Amino acid sequence: MRIGINALYLIPGKTGGMSVYLINYLKYLQEIDTENEYYIYTSTEGAASLNITAPNFHKVRCPMPARLRSFHYFWELFILPFQALKDRIELLHSTANIAPIYLPCKSVITIHDIRPYFISSDFPRSFTYMYKKLLPLMAKHAARVITVSEYSKKAISD
């Protein structure tokens, strides 16, 4: 199976717990899966911090800077589906809250944080608006939703 992993958000030293999740996820996935082909979609900044050594794991450096958030979200939502189509991806796992809504394959999304729903003052207004509108759609279109806490799971399912 050809599996894409959306790591476009990764900014070394800036994305906290989501970075730890991704780095450990990839580390252990490389140890246990030698059969599937993995395509790790990463920004120019994030590529160097990913330790990809397994022959069935491939970094795909996307020409977008993760530090420019609005450009990054646009790329993730609208360009990544075309990249997945080009790479003949059968399943895309978006590992940090944002996933394309329309994809040529099945998708899984990991949702780490639902704070924009409840503490919107901590985030730019444009992000909060986008997140509140898109999160239900992203979850609805995903084959599976992974949450990192029971609280998030309950809030999303309600």
Return the pLDDT at 53. 95
Q: Give the residue ranges of the chain where pLDDT is below 70.
A: 14-16, 114-124, 126-128, 151-158
What's residue 84's pLDDT?
98
Distances (CA, A) of 27 to 13, 50, 69, 136: 18, 9, 26, 30
- Taking a C-beta distance cutoff of 8 angstroms, is the pair 2, 89 a contact? yes
Quick one: pLDDT at residue 65? Answer: 80
Residue 82 has a pLDDT of 97
Domains of the chain: residue spans and CATH: 2-157 (3.40.50.2000)
